């Protein structure tokens, strides 16, 4: 029995953890909290541009693919994804510039203001991938 060692052991451990947290806390905790909440609730949603009128391409999100998987639109045009099939899907841009809810029906529209190539996927079916090319 070492009465002094028992309380000091865990306290010493705690002290070390606190020291590490103290050093890294400001750098790490914010990012960790952000990624944890991102994990719990999915990526932060980008509202659908439902009032867009210049729809350059329409994509069907159906089990388990985007049809067509590649579309090209002009800068300023929108892409509308329509959800169908038996499972929920979403569209999540790799750069998070557009992120829909998980939907079984309905649609999601995003206006592309910048030229470029915007790959995306379904957050729960990583094999579902597509790309929007904006020219």
Cβ nearer to Cu ion, comparing 61 with 71 = 61
- Cβ at position 94, least distance to Cu ion in Å: 15
Cβ nearer to Cu ion, comparing 77 with 110 = 110
Alpha-carbon span 110 to 49, nearest angstrom = 5
Cβ nearer to Cu ion, comparing 128 with 134 = 128
Q: For residue 5, what are the CA distances in angstroms to 8, 10, 14, 18, 40?
A: 5, 9, 14, 19, 40
Residue 122 gets which letter from DSSP?
E
**120, 81 Cβ separation under 8 angstroms:** no
Cβ nearer to Cu ion, comparing 89 with 110 = 89
Cβ nearer to Cu ion, comparing 81 with 112 = 81
- Cβ at position 89, least distance to Cu ion in Å: 3
Rounded to the nearest angstrom, the gap between the alpha carbon of residue 30 and the centroid of all alpha carbons in its chain is: 18
> Applying CB under 5 A, which residues contact Cu ion?
89, 122, 125, 128
Alpha-carbon span 5 to 79, nearest angstrom = 66
- Cβ at position 128, least distance to Cu ion in Å: 5
Alpha-carbon span 17 to 67, nearest angstrom = 50
- Cβ at position 77, least distance to Cu ion in Å: 24
- Cβ at position 64, least distance to Cu ion in Å: 6
């Amino acid at each position: 029995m070492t009465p002094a060692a028992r309380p000091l052991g865990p306290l010493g451990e705690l002290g070390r953890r606190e020291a590490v947290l103290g050093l890294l806390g400001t750098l790490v905790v914010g990012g960790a909290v952000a990624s944890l909440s991102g994990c719990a609730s999915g990526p932060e949603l980008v509202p659908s541009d439902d009032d867009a009128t210049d729809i350059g391409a329409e994509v069907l999100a159906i089990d388990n693919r985007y049809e067509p998987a590649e579309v090209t639109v002009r800068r300023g045009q929108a892409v509308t994804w329509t959800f169908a099939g038996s499972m929920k899907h979403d569209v999540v841009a790799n750069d998070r510039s557009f992120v829909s809810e998980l939907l079984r029906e309905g649609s999601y529209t995003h206006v592309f203001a910048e030229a470029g190539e915007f790959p995306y996927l379904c957050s729960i079916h990583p094999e579902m991938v597509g790309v929007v090319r904006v020219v």
